[in-house]
Chain A
Amino acid sequence: MMQRDLKRIYQRYGIRPFAVPLVAVLGLAVLFDQYAADYSEHLDEATRVSQAQALVTTRLERRRHVEQLQVERKAAFEQAAGRVFVAGDAPQALGELQSRVKSLLERLYAREVSVVPSGALPEQSAGVIEVEARFNGVPQQLPRLQQQLAAEDKMLKLVGIALDVAPEGPVGDHLLVRLRIAAWYTQQDLRPGVGARTSVR
């Protein structure tokens, strides 16, 4: 019925009775369209800024706890700092480890000593560095080697070993020894009080 009434109104009066609502709707649509983009942008911006503000507030509330934790970790690190290789970068630390291991083996009168890097360098500012040492020796050098490693100020850890009886000479007198020795490297600026970027306090 309504449809027929509308049709008759259109037949009688044409578009005029429908024009006013149509113009009103279109006008409102244009008006909304004009400001909808800005409004939507402000809505997004307000949400983003509000979330950022909430995150900052929440994290700042934990500031005291973080400071306390930092003091504890620094104190623990100060105690252990002497046992790690602190260097500008990992290759430098690896060089130090190489020379230290070579010197140690030479002090044990090991023959034909060679020390080469082993394993991948740490990609981060701290990690394990490792060298492989080869030498000819006698069985009695092994316990002394272990004692020397334990006596080092840096932590040098024997993580792999391969012993082969030398094919020449009397059996048991000469061993071909391959060792994997690992240590811990820490970038220099991490150590409190050392380096240019240590003023994080």
Chain B
Amino acid sequence: MRFSRQPDFRRHQVLAVVETTQVALVHRVRGWRGWRMQATEVLAYASPEFSSDALYRVMKEAVARWRVPAGAALVLVVPPLLAGTVCVAGAANAGSADRAAADGAEASLSLPSISLPSLPFPASEILQVPLAADGDAQQCLFWLHRDWLHEFDRLAGQLRLRLAEVFSRVQCLMPPLVAPLPGVKLRGLVEGEAAQPNFHLFDALGRPLRSCALPAGDPLQQARQLAAEWLVAESALGEPGPGEPAAGRTCLQRAGEFPDLDAALASVAADLVLQPVVLPAWALRLEQLWTSRVAGIWLEPPRAELLRDFSRWTVVLGVLGLLLFAGMLWHDDQLVLAIDADEQSLRRNKPAYLKLQEQEAEIIKLTRTLDGLETLAKAPPVLQPLAMLVAQLPAPAWIEHYALNGEVLELSGFGMDAAAAEAMLAAAGVKDLTALPALPQREGQTLAFAWRGRWLPAASVATPAATPAAAPSAAAASSGRAQP
């Protein structure tokens, strides 16, 4: 199965903004990292009426210089002078109008059910597309006469390009390309060439309400028309609602320098002042327009190869999915077989394994007993330190109390002061000595001692002392030797 390779012309685009005296061109090329702007150029031309021939003369050199392959897309943005916008109320079937526009030149145009009295041509002679296809009660349409479309198509043919889409100039000024002003319910914008500026009106959401070209040449006429348009729009806006501030509801802006228009406007309507505003560069706006979801009017039929690829990819996806599914089923069978085999093996080995577990458990118990006995046997003899201490006890001292539990040794007695007893215990290897709070009491005895310390068998081994067997006798001798 072969898939159509993306032809070279699909990787080039020429975007053009047509104005009265100039055309701005952008060349876009798609590389490995997506589309990028390859070149931009503004070409001046003088044509009292727009004609494809005049445009061809200025554009052919740039297209040739940029080596745009034949068949590349040509996208045009046309001024309000060539294409109109009209707002109709209750255009509920905007979708059908959109689809009619999408059907191209050869498709029959189906107009909205309402009449469009503002259109200067019969509906069959124009192509239209909603400017903001959001199903609003007020629908603004961009329309273009078929003659102009064929003229642009002819221009594209002369340039060996194909006409991809035609946009209205106002579409370059709509959201998301130009954000609406917060709080402003009506915005007017003057832009374009100083000799023949364009005037656009937008609502609070930035949707176009009106787009027109002001009269060419005469600034006074331009100012009068602008003032009239603005007055009508302001009247339609109505009075401010209760609690709504009047200031800031409207905003009149100009993008660019229009000194003559400014002066004329001051004389026609002194309260109208054009606020300057800076719009993004044309090249950037064009690129954003092309990559946005804004739709223009287009002639080109859908790409047949794309549809073919669609079908082929569907087949490939289906086959791959089925293969994957078959692989999963096969592996599932293998897993079931492996589980059965392992379970049989486990069942076979179970008696031997249980016996082994019992043996290991018995070994653990036996080992614990043997180790416990050994540990018990190695416990230090508790009478050994007593024998050592009795051997070192000076006369007439004697022991009243002796205890050894674990490492804790306690010794108290009479006939010897505490310091001497401490020294004796330390010499016997008793560590960490602390004096017991209560001394032994016995009538007639003034010298007494009571100590607690830690006796470590290893330390005492190094000390020469009596054997453990001799300790009890030595203790007995000590206890019986001294008299109070």
Contacts and interface: CB of A to CB of B under 8 A. Distances in A.
Say if A and B assemble together. yes
Nearest to B365: A190
Interface string A119-143: 0000011111000000000111011
B342 A53 contact: yes
A155 B376 contact: yes
Contacts of B306: 2, 5-6, 9
Interface in A12-48: 12-13, 17-18, 20-21, 24-25, 28, 31-32, 35-36, 38-39, 42-43, 45-46
Interface string A74-92: 1011001001100000000
Contact of A11 (B102, B373, B400, B482): B102
B345 A53 contact: yes
A42 B339 contact: yes
Contact of B368 (A35, A39, A124, A160): A124
A74 B295 CA distance: 92
Contacts of A184: 369, 372-373, 376
A131 to B, nearest CB: 14
Given A1-B73, A24-B318, A63-B352, A32 B328 contact: yes
A139 B475 contact: yes
Contact of B366 (A20, A57, A73, A155): A73
Contacts of B379: 157, 159, 182
Contact of A28 (B318, B365, B399): B318
B318 A126 contact: no
B103 interface: yes
A105 interface: no
A180 B405 contact: yes
Given A5-B303, A155-B376, A165-B400, A21 B314 contact: yes
B325 A28 contact: yes
B168 interface: no
Given A25-B317, A42-B336, A70-B359, A142 B369 contact: no
A175 B478 CA distance: 13
With most chain A CB atoms within 10 A of its CB, the pick from B302, B331, B405 is B302
Interface in B348-399: 349, 352-353, 355-356, 358-363, 365-370, 372-373, 376-377, 379, 381-383, 386, 398-399
A165 to B, nearest CB: 5
A159 B403 CA distance: 11
Contact of B377 (A36, A125, A157, A162): A157
Contacts of A142: 383, 471-473, 475-476
Nearest to B402: A163
A157 to B, nearest CB: 5
Nearest to A11: B102
B343 interface: yes
A69 B432 CA distance: 45
Interface in A158-201: 158-165, 171-173, 175, 178, 180, 182-184, 186, 190, 200
28 contacts: A1-B30, A12-B102, A39-B335, A42-B336, A43-B335, A46-B342, A50-B342, A53-B342, A53-B346, A56-B345, A56-B349, A56-B353, A60-B352, A63-B352, A126-B365, A126-B372, A138-B476, A139-B472, A142-B471, A161-B402, A163-B403, A165-B479, A171-B398, A172-B481, A180-B405, A182-B376, A190-B365, A200-B362
Given A60-B356, A142-B476, A160-B405, 18 more contacts: A7-B295, A9-B306, A11-B98, A31-B321, A42-B335, A45-B339, A60-B352, A70-B359, A73-B362, A84-B373, A125-B365, A126-B365, A143-B473, A147-B469, A159-B382, A161-B383, A172-B479, A173-B480
Interface of B: 10, 13, 30, 73, 98-99, 102-103, 164-165, 293, 295, 298, 300-303, 306-307, 310-311, 313-314, 317-318, 321-322, 324-325, 328-329, 331-332, 335-336, 338-339, 342-343, 345-346, 349, 352-353, 355-356, 358-363, 365-370, 372-373, 376-377, 379, 381-383, 386, 398-406, 410, 468-473, 475-477, 479-484
